[in-house]
Amino acid sequence: MSDQGLEAYQPPKLPSVRTIHFSDVRAALLAGWQDFKKAPLLGLFFGGFYAVGGLAIWAGLMVYNMPWMIIPLAIGFPLVGPFVAVGTYEVSRRLLAGEPLVWRQIFFLILGQRERQLGWMAFVVLFIFWIWVYQIRLVMALFLGFKTYSSLGEFLSIVTTTPEGLGFLAVGTIIGALISFSLFAATVVAMPLLMARDIDFVSAIIVSFNAVRINFLPMLGFALVVGGLTLVAMLPAFMGLLVVLPVLGHATWHLYTKVVVHA
């Protein structure tokens, strides 16, 4: 590119980020619950994808005689939550704008995201999820050796009663927390931003990281709530995700509207 071309190039202007407080996080969570109550069928529909996905993973592990992998996969499974919750962002946007909740329009809009930047974000999310899966296998091999476990109970007994197992839990938890929070920082604002504006996914990720950097403690609090509620919701055979996922999706949209300055 010539010097004249370099001078003419102007990098895209990124949306500005506001400073928020814990009260804003609480308000977003309450607004998410209210949105779910206003459109429960849509919420249960989107949450159903997550619940069915969890059951499918469990069934696959049982077929391949790997029930012990349900714990690392269950911990990593919430990583794909922001992408699955895209439909709830549109529902919240329509409720906030006073627009009708027409199922067909919502689904067509979601399907249309495949041709936009949100599709690239999906690759980012799934790539990090696979990093999590492979690194937990590596940590397991380092601490527990290349052993096989005939049942989930046997695996739990080893990781909770032996020094090697406790070491695996400690290191795996630290690595998992770092990966999860990194992905949270990259997507918490980026996903709804890509739904709402014509922006490339790299710029959206930058804005999302800026939002977390500027509002580190409130965003960390929101991340802990998201992670904690999701893990608890998975305990009753993933069925709690029917409600928890859409509520958190709605809440994420409302948090986005508080953090990002709308032009």
Query: What pLDDT band is residue 3 in, cutting at 50, 70 and 90?
Result: low
The average confidence (pLDDT) of the chain is 81
Q: Is residue 139 part of a domain?
A: yes
What is the reported pLDDT for 50? Answer: 75
Higher pLDDT, residue 66 or 44: 44
Number of domains into which the chain is organized? 1
What is the reported pLDDT for 10? Answer: 57
CA distances from 182 to 93, 186, 199, 260 (A): 26, 6, 21, 19
Q: Is residue 6 part of a domain?
A: no
Q: Is residue 10 part of a domain?
A: no
Span of 22-31, 93-102, 154-163 with lowest mean pLDDT = 154-163
218 pLDDT above the threshold of 90? yes
What is the reported pLDDT for 120? Answer: 76
The mean per-residue pLDDT over the stretch 33-43 comes to: 93
169 pLDDT above the threshold of 90? no
What is the reported pLDDT for 9? Answer: 44
What is the reported pLDDT for 6? Answer: 47
DSSP state string for 99-137: ----HHHHHHHHHHGGGSTHHHHHHHHHHHHHHHHHHHH
Q: Is residue 14 part of a domain?
A: no
* Reported pTM: 0.81
Task: Identify the bridge partners of residue 260 per DSSP, sorted by sequence position.
Answer: 17
Domain that holds residue 129: 20-259
| Cβ density class 49-62: b for 16+ within 10 Å, e for less | ebbeebeebbeebe
The mean per-residue pLDDT over the stretch 38-52 comes to: 86
